[in-house]
Amino acid sequence: MTSGAVSIRNVSKAFGTFTALDNVSLDIEPGEFLTLLGPSGSGKTTLLNVIAGFERPDSGSLLVDGVEFITKPPHKRDLGMVFQNYALFPHMDVFNNVAYPLKLRGLAAAETRERVRQALETVQMAHLSGRRITELSGGQKQRVALARAIVFEPKLLLMDEPLSALDKNLREHMQIELKRLHDRLGMTTIYVTHDQQEALTMSNRIAVLRNGGIVQLDTPKHIYDRPNCRFVASFMGETRMLPVGRSGDGYEFAGRRLKLAQPPSAADAQWLVVRPERLGWHGDEARDNRIDGLVVDVVYRGDSHSISLKLPGDHEISIRRAPTEDKPLPEPGQTLTLWLKPEASVLVEEAP
Partner 1 sequence: MTAAALDTQPLNAGLLGDDERRHRLAMFGLSVPAMLLVALVLLVPFSWLAWLSLFDASGALSAENYARLLRPAYVNSFVSTLEVAALVTGVCILLGYPVAYLLSQLPKRAAQILLVFVILPFWTSVLVRTYAWLVLLQREGIINTWLKQLGLISESLPLVNNLTGTVIGMVHVMLPFLILPLYASMRAIDPVYLRAAANCGASPAQAFRQVFLPLSAPGLGAGAALTFVLCLGFYLTPALLGGGRVAMWSTQIADAVAKFANWGAASALSVALLVVTGLILWLMKWGVRRLGTSLGER
Where on the chain is the footprint of partner 1 (CB under 8 A)?
A: 52-54, 73-81, 83, 85, 87-92, 96, 100-101, 104-105, 148-149, 152
Q: How far is the CB of 9 from partner 1 (least distance, A)?
A: 23
Rounded to the nearest whole angstrom, what is the least distance from the CB of residue 351 to partner 1 in the complex?
Answer: 35
CA distances in angstroms from 283 to 279, 286, 289, listed in the order given: 10, 9, 8
Rg of the chain, C-alpha, whole Å: 24
Minimum distance from residue 232 beta carbon to partner 1 (Å): 31
> How far is the CA of 45 from the CAs of 29, 80, 203, 254, 339, in angstroms?
20, 15, 17, 42, 40
When the beta carbons of 95 and 271 are compared against partner 1, the nearer one is 95
- Residue 293 · residue 316 · CB < 8 Å: no
Least Å distance between CB 71 and partner 1?
15
Which H helix or E strand runs over 104? helix 94-104
CA distance 323 to 320: 10
Which of 20, 28, 12, 17 lies closest to 45 in space, CA to CA? 20
Spatial contact of 64 and 6, defined as CB atoms under 8 Å apart: yes
Least Å distance between CB 54 and partner 1? Answer: 5
Nearest C-alpha neighbor of 125 from the set 156, 153, 163, 151: 151
Q: What letter does residue 76 receive in the DSSP assignment?
A: G
Closest CB to partner 1 among 65 and 78?
78
Nearer to partner 1, 85 or 337 (CB): 85
* Residues contacting residue 195 through CB under 8 Å, at least 6 positions apart: 163, 164
> Minimum distance between the CB of residue 68 and partner 1, rounded to whole angstroms?
19
